[in-house]
Structure 1
Amino acid sequence: MTATDDRRPLLDLLPYSPAGRRSPMTCHYRCATSCAVPAPNHSGNAYFGDVVRAAVSRRGVLAGLVGLGVAGAAVAQAQPASAFGGGDDVNLLADPFDPGHVVDFDVIAPVSAEVDSFDVPAGWTWAPLISWGDPILPGAPDFDFENQTAEAQLGQFGYNNDYTTIVPLQDPNRALLVCNNEYTNEELMFRDWVDAQSATDEQLRISLAAHGMSVVELRRADADSPWGYVRGSDFNRRITPMTPMRFTGPAAGAKALRTEADPQGRTPVGTFGNCAGGTTPWGTVLSGEENFNGYFSSPEVEGGQSDRYSVYGSGGRAWERVEPRFSAENEPNEANRFGWIVEVDPSDPTSTPRKHTAMGRMKHEGATVSLAADGRVVSYMGDDERFEYLYKFVSKRTYREGDRKHNMRLLEDGDLYVAVFEGDGIEDERYDGRGRWVQLTRGGRSVVPGMSIDQVLVNTRAAADVVGATKMDRPEDVERNPVNGRVYVACTNNTRRGTLGQPGVDEANPRPLNKDGHVVEIVEARDDAAATTFSWNLVLVCGDPEDQSTYFGGFDPAQVSPISCPDNVAFDTTGNLWISTDGNTLGSNDGLYEVVVDGPNRGQVRQFLSVPTGAETCGPVIADDGRTVFVAVQHPGEVDGATIDDPASTFPYDGTGQPRPSVVQVRRA
């Protein structure tokens, strides 16, 4: 394909287009339609598109696009597949090996977005493990769609399950399911719903109660039997926007965190917008508060510009009518008390969840934990918004095997870093390079010029702006592979990349109008999670395999499953990467995919399952040596025009006739 071939479609596509296939209904309820307004990152951070531009200029390609602000934008379209990284020498740190497939399955074909079904390979079965409204606390009533109450919802499984983890107990046939309940869609919850402003107080309280997190005990008869949840277990718990919590770390007590109800700024109340997370070696669960901005009724700021977190100008959810603190005009600091990493101890339902200020405040996708070579705890974190950044936290103290009391405090103190990616040009026909973790805090003090420690931690995005962090295409889940030690970053999409007035492409974000996303592979120096330098390459550039701008780790595109909009990631025991998707643009339902990242089949993508129409695949857990896979099916049937009387999906097909977000277990037959 020549540069001339690329030019006309690029020009035609320059106007804004929605991110992925996510419906406006989802955008409204999940993130206050942040994709339809200017990105809040107005910093002048340099990006290394100029490096790409120089290489292109020397080849005499695409000179006519330079003046459009997308110089180098079509390079990704025009380059051969090897330009996206890899080649024969991609695995530089270890001898290649073929891990095989610990999960034995036949690849399924993509399922049309018009089809409402949950599809698994032949020889596998699926069943809902728990669904929105199922009773979990003692005395909670059975779910009754037509007669919901706030009191009932406080004892029932929450709505829109996202990050899911299984925490083992001493008995191998008992475990704890911990699940984020990210947000609610009242149009699909209440038959008489019109909008938030005309909602009843009881409906608002039900919505409040459906947010947060759910902890549920699981049991099974033996290793060959399916799991079931235990109604009324002593372990079961709902954590909601009304649950008392505690701040830890250097910013606890900061002026920006103080409110009339909490003049010391140390005891926040509640959590919501809980997206991805992580499970610690000491058995606690981390939850990332992501799209918190849309919950506060707040006026436009002067000039109509959004603040760095897009709180001002949001219409809110009318929660301020039943909880006055959700009026940003009356309580301007309340929004600052969200956007943190929350740590929950699922083994103790009486414990107080903690928000760790040392880990920074942003729209956290999640936080996954690894150990550095010296035993310090390292947590990787993505900030899920267009042109935002990739972070990591390194604890001050070291992990002690078996000392849970000590380990429970590891995330309270440490140093915070943000990533800067540096490209080396595309003359080597690869998208790869080096990078640095740039320090924002050290020893409980700020190292950002002109900013105090409180300012860095409460307004972490602004601190990262100052040090010149690299603007990424929605960095979502970030996890370290327990087998090969490399870190994988799912960049979901960014359809504003390369549009007029927005940053152009660079080697780590190589496509303009990036509707399908990509996956970055990071190799940290000395294979040490605490290292401050790294090398990187692109292992996947997602989309239709027939599109020349896609790349599958060097694997034959004709032999891969199409994949679009990577979101959550996980690993199996051989180190294969598993990716769940959110917003598939290829006309198919979202799904779960296995990706080989080492050996001769590196880049092979195989689709394992497909979720119902309108749904997003979340929280994959590969368990029982590959015999069981857990997924969270979030917002099934969330399609524009869908109503309770005319639903787009009836998943989990339980006879209620209404869609119910659910955690599903998939097992070999």
Structure 2
Amino acid sequence: MKKYSLVRGYSDGDVDTNRTGSASLESMVSERYSRRETLFGGMRATAMALFGTTMLTACDFDVFGNDDKGPTVSAGQDATTTAGRLVTLTGTAETTSTVTSAWRQTGGPSVALQGTGNSVTFFAPGVAASTDLTFEFTATEADGDAASATTKVTVQPAVLGFDAVPKNLNDIVTVPAGYLVTVMTRLGDPIAAGVSAYANDGTDGNFAQRIGDHGDALYYYGLNAAGTRDDNSSTRGLLVQNHENLNVQYLHPNGPTNVSTGPRPEVEAIKEIEAHGVSVTEYRDTGGRTWTYVQDSALNRRITPNTPVTFHGPVRGSALIRTAYSQDGTQGRGTINNCANGHTPWGTNLTCEENWSGYFTRSGDDAARTPAEVTALRRYGVTRTLGNYAWSTVASTNSIFRRWDARATGATALADYRNEPNQFGWVVEIDPYNPGSTPRKRTALGRMGHEGAWLGKLTAGKKVAVYMGDDSRREYFYKFVSNAAWDAGDANTTDRLAMGDKYLDAGTLYVAKFNADGTGTWLPLVFGSVPNRPATGGQPEYVFANQADILVNTRLAADAVGATPMDRPEWTATNPVTGEIYLTLTNNNAAGRPLGGTDAANPRHYNDPKDGSNQVGNPNGHIVRLKETGDDPAATGFAWDIYLFGADSAEASAANVNLSGLDASNDFSSPDGLWFSRTQNPAGQGRPLLWVQTDDGALTDRTNNQMLAALPGTVGDGGAKTITNVGADGTTATQATIVGAAATTATLRRFLTGPKECEITGVDSTPDGRTLFVGIQHPGEDGEPDAPSSNWPQSQGGTTSGRPRSAVVAITRQDGGIIGL
């Protein structure tokens, strides 16, 4: 049967084959659905033909209308759609008496039919190849006579279902036509009963009960009507969000006092400390995907740098983390500079401490330290004279301020906070469903500038792998493999943190070495097999004392085994179907990746001028993906390629820079956030939808930061390529690399742009894929209290005044469909 192609490259089988002179299907559909509904609602398989080709009867039938023996039914015509589109099945029955009617599925991947009687709907499932679904429509008369007819719906793999958002410099969140933006929790919003609304003029305090600043990675944890865990709930849940850093100028009436010199006022320092960390906030759909948050929910919680935590894994009790506060090395306080995240199948959140080193005062005490201590402190950048916000200068003996002074001033480490930096740089596990639980720092996963901790694809009986980037220039990519094999029954535990003990406290930490031929090796960081780190950069040879030393000083161990330095390894994401791992490499400058310092996995060196100034190195970044040997998370080898290269599509040296063939609809710079859609809905099935977020400083003269939707292929879908790199002085050098298939407008498209000076970071959806939550971080970050450079989120509603605030937005479709498809 001929199918007519309509919008978005799919055909809905909306063809009339009934030649009796009745109204055509096209006219009937147009009466029921407007053109706009058809455009944004996806395919409607109306299936209303009286004499369809699939018509079956259970009795004799007189074509002149005399029916004495039973009903005559039609299930309509066969139809074709694509994954994630809404399908409507409508049956018809000719009968002379009262009937009941119903649809049921008879073949293909199971779908949930919504509705009763003659008309039902469902979302086409995600598929990797053309797949047939069959359905049967049955009508039954009062006397029991029945008749049935069948129809077939062919589902094709997912396609992107929106027009690309143009690049722009507007002070709003811009989304495609047919989509809606709702601003949710914002900086300072109260999340406890009795806490006042946020004045947004710098006078507010009590950030231990308010949403923190610089909202970053986020994840939605479903709740049922009783307020307990329900992984499939799309109407009520907890949003867990990181709060990475501060737009400190907007937190106080006239900006911060003595922030670069000290001493700091205590009230200002408390506010700034509490505005970091993590928030847990209840969200509810009040009907029709109209979202709000619940200020007085008993499950709301703030975890700040002052919240008690415990240490678990091999470093627990080590002398390296003992302080005046934790003299046995088992306890700590809080978490800070939380950037990317992860989640576990047993229902916990993994938050990751990234640029924590800059918060500490530490200089002038080298003579009181061992050479090994000095080497380790310098390798992690704990070398500041004052610290980011000079909290240690508050005139108080309170340890919440004193702890940020990491100088060796006492007789031993138990008399001061010289080891306090070693208490940070970890992956922290939180039970979002239990506000009374104590977060646990998982030391087996290593200490670094953690940028995410994403689990690989889980298979019963196989070990659990966790993939992690270390976000600094020329740092490394890591994998942790548990000793325990995955037991799917553990996903339903009520003692969630105990499952973290099982899978995250014992195992092997590896670091990646990328080979030029598109293969790679995971190098174990295990005491006894890690050599001494050679003397370098004026620092002496580093000799590891034990496994705790390797895990506290993971960067030094990775140096020692010869791992591949990368261009700022940030977020990781796991393709839920293929199990392939994606890693964003945000960018690098000429100092970090000089012309002669490229390699196959970090291959570009070029100049991308902006505003008349050179940007030399790899200013636009790229995304690497890898496939474990044998699809085994415990494998020690892998294959890799570069999935996408960020680039300005107008770049003059396109042949050697725009290696992914980007155009104005999908060019981007500095990939950062990364996330695959959830497997509970079609966007995460078959050919899963990948979301890419940017933290760009190179292309911001042309567009605000953005989020793109992608339909990626697989490792090896491209091939080898040799590029010519060009230095600022015109010198050239060639570099061989492995590239993935070029992008097209069908496989990569700009979905969203943010307001002025923001970063787009943090993304997740409800399990049904019909609401997308996105984080908007630090809008107007370059402004001043009396001259803000953005007015978002007020500007989202048309108001062009007020200080900017980081916030979460909920994005929905006007037709209620699945986001992106």
Q: What number of residue pairs does the alignment pair up?
A: 556
1:596 touches 1:602 (CA, 8 Å); kept in 2?
Answer: no
1:439 corresponds in structure 2 to: 524
In the aligned structure 1, how far is the partner of 2:528 from the partner of 2:322?
20
In the aligned structure 2, how far is the partner of 1:162 from the partner of 1:566?
14
- Structure 2 residue runs of 5 or longer lacking an equivalent are 1-127, 132-154, 226-232, 368-373, 410-416, 533-543, 606-616, 678-683, 718-740, 815-821
**Aligned counterpart for 1:563 among listed residues 656, 668, 677:** 668
3-state SS of paired residue (1:647): coil
- Structure 1 residue runs of 5 or longer lacking an equivalent are 1-93, 425-432
1:106 corresponds in structure 2 to: 163
2:811 corresponds in structure 1 to: 666
2:151 corresponds in structure 1 to: none
Kindly report which structure 2 residues correspond to 1:123-138, keeping only aligned pairs within 5 A, or say none: 123-138=178-193
**Aligned counterpart for 1:549 among listed residues 641, 656, 659:** 656
Kindly report which structure 2 residues correspond to 1:369-518, keeping only aligned pairs within 5 A, or say none: 369-373=455-459, 374-403=461-490, 404=493, 405=495, 407-409=499-501, 410-424=503-517, 433-441=518-526, 447-450=529-532, 451=544, 452-496=546-590, 504-512=597-605, 513-518=617-622
In the aligned structure 2, how far is the partner of 1:117 from the partner of 1:217?
25
Query: AA paired with 2:656?
Result: S
2:42 corresponds in structure 1 to: none
1:645 corresponds in structure 2 to: 786
**Aligned counterpart for 1:334 among listed residues 416, 420, 433:** 420
Query: AA paired with 2:514?
Result: F
1:376 touches 1:399 (CA, 8 Å); kept in 2?
Answer: yes
**Aligned counterpart for 1:615 among listed residues 758, 773, 778:** 758
1:63 corresponds in structure 2 to: none
2:453 touches 2:466 (CA, 8 Å); kept in 1?
Answer: yes
**Aligned counterpart for 2:391 among listed residues 313, 319, 338:** 319
Q: 1:646 to 1:103 in 2, by over 3 A?
A: same
3-state SS of paired residue (2:185): strand
2:351 corresponds in structure 1 to: 287
Offset, 1:312: 1.2
Offset, 1:419: 0.1
Q: 1:499 to 1:530 in 2, by over 3 A?
A: closer
2:254 corresponds in structure 1 to: 192
- Please tell me whether residue 247 in structure 1 is matched to residue 311 in structure 2: yes
Q: Which moved more, 1:401-410 or 1:615-624?
A: 401-410
Q: Deviations over 1:603-655 (max 9, x none)?
A: 3321000011110000111445543221100000012xx11111100110176
In the aligned structure 2, how far is the partner of 1:297 from the partner of 1:95?
57
Query: AA paired with 1:243?
Result: T
Whose relative contact order is higher, 1 or 2, with alpha carbons under 8 Å and at least 6 apart? 1
- Please tell me whether residue 230 in structure 1 is matched to residue 300 in structure 2: no
3-state SS of paired residue (2:295): coil
Q: 1:189 to 1:575 in 2, by over 3 A?
A: same
1:580 corresponds in structure 2 to: 693
Query: AA paired with 2:788?
Result: P
Q: Deviations over 1:473-512 (max 9, x none)?
A: 0000012110222111100000136766x96111100012
Query: AA paired with 1:511?
Result: R
Q: Deviations over 1:583-617 (max 9, x none)?
A: 24222100100122128986332100001111000
In the aligned structure 1, how far is the partner of 2:794 from the partner of 2:240?
23
1:178 touches 1:216 (CA, 8 Å); kept in 2?
Answer: yes
- Give the number of the structure whose residues are more often helix, by fraction: 1
- Please tell me whether residue 597 in structure 1 is matched to residue 679 in structure 2: no
Kindly report which structure 2 residues correspond to 1:289-368, keeping only aligned pairs within 5 A, or say none: 289-299=353-363, 307-316=378-387, 317-320=389-392, 321=394, 323-329=401-407, 330=409, 331-368=417-454
3-state SS of paired residue (2:272): helix
Q: Which moved more, 1:235-244 or 1:571-580?
A: 571-580
3-state SS of paired residue (1:548): helix
2:450 touches 2:468 (CA, 8 Å); kept in 1?
Answer: yes
Offset, 1:283: 0.6
3-state SS of paired residue (1:408): helix
2:211 corresponds in structure 1 to: 157
Offset, 1:665: 0.8
In the aligned structure 2, how far is the partner of 1:494 from the partner of 1:241?
30
Q: 1:167 to 1:498 in 2, by over 3 A?
A: closer
In the aligned structure 2, how far is the partner of 1:414 from the partner of 1:342?
17
Q: Deviations over 1:496-537 (max 9, x none)?
A: 36766x961111000120000001110111112221100111
Offset, 1:666: 1.1
In the aligned structure 2, how far is the partner of 1:103 from the partner of 1:629?
15
In the aligned structure 2, how far is the partner of 1:549 from the partner of 1:146?
48
2:201 corresponds in structure 1 to: 146
Q: 1:166 to 1:102 in 2, by over 3 A?
A: farther
2:770 corresponds in structure 1 to: 627
Q: 1:552 to 1:95 in 2, by over 3 A?
A: farther
2:103 corresponds in structure 1 to: none
In the aligned structure 2, how far is the partner of 1:498 from the partner of 1:148?
41
Q: 1:593 to 1:532 in 2, by over 3 A?
A: same
Query: AA paired with 1:328?
Result: A
3-state SS of paired residue (2:644): strand
2:321 touches 2:422 (CA, 8 Å); kept in 1?
Answer: yes
In the aligned structure 1, how far is the partner of 2:378 from the partner of 2:792?
38
3-state SS of paired residue (1:259): coil
Offset, 1:138: 2.6
Offset, 1:561: 1.2
Q: 1:147 to 1:566 in 2, by over 3 A?
A: closer
In the aligned structure 1, how far is the partner of 2:656 from the partner of 2:755?
28
1:220 touches 1:228 (CA, 8 Å); kept in 2?
Answer: yes
1:122 corresponds in structure 2 to: 177
Offset, 1:198: 5.2
2:312 touches 2:442 (CA, 8 Å); kept in 1?
Answer: yes
2:63 corresponds in structure 1 to: none
Please tell me whether Structure 1 or Structure 2 has the larger radius of gyration of its CA atoms: 2
Kindly report which structure 2 residues correspond to 1:15-26, keeping only aligned pairs within 5 A, or say none: none
Q: 1:558 to 1:479 in 2, by over 3 A?
A: closer
Query: AA paired with 2:402?
Result: P
In the aligned structure 2, how far is the partner of 1:371 from the partner of 1:342?
21
